[in-house]
A and B are shown apart, each in its own frame.
Chain A
């Protein structure tokens, strides 16, 4: 290994800052916008607000319908995460550990479902959902989001379970565990970084999902945040400030979750790699 010379270092820093700006730029712009008073919203300069204000946040958070949407989103995304993990972990255990025919086919179908373009399914689903009388309920979103999140969690968890040395499962069986006890007492704790990763993926997917939420919700009793924000613009004006404040308010739970789980996920990934 040679010391990186100045040019390499400069190039690295340039690339790094380019990526950071590219990724964080929009979010920062939203944050700036959310703090601008109404009069400065559609003017440049100033780039930064001359009198930063929390007015937009107050407006948005006082709005009962916005809070209602946050609750809707929380309930739907939590249910989707819970169901995906519960079903996905047991299924992944079977796929990774128990010998049965057609494992590859099951995983293949799961992958195919997660690749399936939702837009193609919306029309037939709409008819089905209407026939079942589930329009504008949490249930329809929970069911549809789970259908798409579950294959992802299944894949993540299956690969995590496969990383666990098989002898641990056999040791647990000999130490007196039935297959399910071995699963809950040994394998599941060891796969917890995988569970965290899968939970995050499922939660973010459901939290951000727009198409189904737009199609199958009609009132604020079941409307989720992304749809709600998209419906902010009124007939005569677009409340950029409120939209920006609402977006940040809606994104922050996900960011907090990610930061909470990040260490565990990274820890888990490296622990698996070195077989410590």
Chain B
């Protein structure tokens, strides 16, 4: 179990800055996920921690010991790759034994550990086979096993599930979580899939263009996104983000243009008390927080249903609100048809405001 600390970690390739002075601490025994769209620098971050690449600036500490000048061998970390990176010319047994053989362990110890890991992952029947004879899920397990077999101080997982089909991915996801609970090892997981990040992790870090956007428990990041990027990235379907102007006057509101206004009463108005009149802001409403009602008092939140997407357990709706389009989620029993008009409601505590220029959330 190892605590990993990154200090002002920076990586440049020529003029391109892939990572910009990232500060991050991964606690000992934690399942930590770095999530972000492709090209955000998350794989580079993993390579730097693994020692496969050298940082341009900054430092990496394992339990307060600087390691960024050490080679991968000295760091004692294991990595699971997206492509599994199994050695095609070796059997499953040899693949699993390889890291131990490199450590010059005795044949008896190697045999015992390989068989233990194979047993744990259900790979025993596959031991004499070669990677090309295995299914995707089995290859994935071999890759995990090769990482586990030498009990490294740190596991790095680089999008290990993204080559699997949807059903297997969910299966492996829960297996991975159980595995982490059994091993209690520090794991850093990299993915672009926010659902994986949310379900697996103790904490997540959202990375965008080499910048750390936010770091925290999945629930925190979901409930209190630090900025527009996080708000739009975490959540499925993504948060509705509507740009408007803050207006005071007799009735405070966010003016969304073309006569559409989002009225701000009581608490909401209070939250914007330091925001300048006429300032640009972005209103954030999560689809799952919108409630539709067929009739009621007109709050200026009259929306027209334009699309229904049944997802089985729920339906996704697309709504027209003035010039804006809103996404909403409703239970599967939702009764309505395209063209109908509804009023939407939302709890005041579920409404987000973001600074339109800087993107940060206004509390």
Contacts and interface: CB of A to CB of B under 8 A. Distances in A.
Interface of A: 165, 167-168, 170-178, 181, 186, 189-190, 276
Contacts of A178: 71, 73
B81 A171 contact: yes
Contact of A174 (B72, B83, B132): B72
Given A181-B102, A276-B132, A173 B72 contact: yes
B85 A177 contact: no
A163 B72 CA distance: 24
B79 A177 contact: no
B102 A170 contact: no
B88 interface: yes
A174 B52 contact: yes
B52 A170 contact: yes
Contact of B99 (A168, A170, A176, A189): A176
Nearest to A189: B89
Interface residues of B, number: 22
B73 A170 contact: no
15 contacts: A167-B83, A170-B47, A170-B52, A170-B81, A170-B85, A171-B81, A171-B146, A173-B71, A173-B72, A173-B73, A174-B52, A174-B78, A175-B78, A178-B71, A181-B102
Contacts of B78: 174-175
A177 B73 contact: yes
A170 B102 CA distance: 14
Contact of A186 (B71, B77, B81, B87): B87
Contact of A168 (B50, B71, B85, B132): B85
Nearest to B143: A171
Given A167-B83, A170-B50, 15 more contacts: A165-B85, A167-B81, A170-B52, A170-B79, A170-B85, A171-B79, A171-B87, A173-B72, A174-B78, A175-B98, A175-B146, A178-B71, A181-B102, A186-B87, A190-B87
Contacts of A171: 79, 81, 85, 87, 146
A133 B102 CA distance: 48
A175 B89 contact: no
A213 B146 CA distance: 53
Contacts of A167: 81-83, 85
Interface in B290-331: none
B88 A175 contact: no
A76 B83 CA distance: 43
B103 interface: yes
A259 to B, nearest CB: 23
A115 to B, nearest CB: 33
Contacts of B88: 190, 276
Contacts, number: 51
A174 B71 CA distance: 9
Nearest to A190: B89
B4 to A, nearest CB: 15
Nearest to A177: B102
Given A168-B87, A170-B52, A189-B89, A175 B99 contact: yes
Interface in B92-107: 98-99, 102-103
A172 B47 CA distance: 14
Contacts of A168: 85, 87
B52 A173 contact: yes
Interface in B199-229: none
Closest 9 CB pairs of A and B: A176-B102, A171-B85, A167-B85, A175-B99, A167-B81, A276-B132, A173-B72, A189-B89, A174-B79
A178 B50 CA distance: 14
Contacts of B71: 173, 178
B333 to A, nearest CB: 47
B304 to A, nearest CB: 50
Nearest to B78: A174
A162 to B, nearest CB: 16
A276 B82 CA distance: 15
Contacts of B82: 167
Contacts of B87: 168, 171-172, 186, 190
A270 to B, nearest CB: 12
A181 B102 CA distance: 9
Contacts of A186: 87
A176 B89 contact: no
A174 B76 CA distance: 8
Contacts of B81: 167, 170-171
Contact of A175 (B47, B83, B102, B132): B102
Contacts of B89: 189-190
Contacts of A276: 88, 132
Contacts of A172: 87
A172 B83 CA distance: 14
Contacts of B77: 174
Interface string B13-42: 000000000000000000000000000000
Contacts of A177: 73, 102
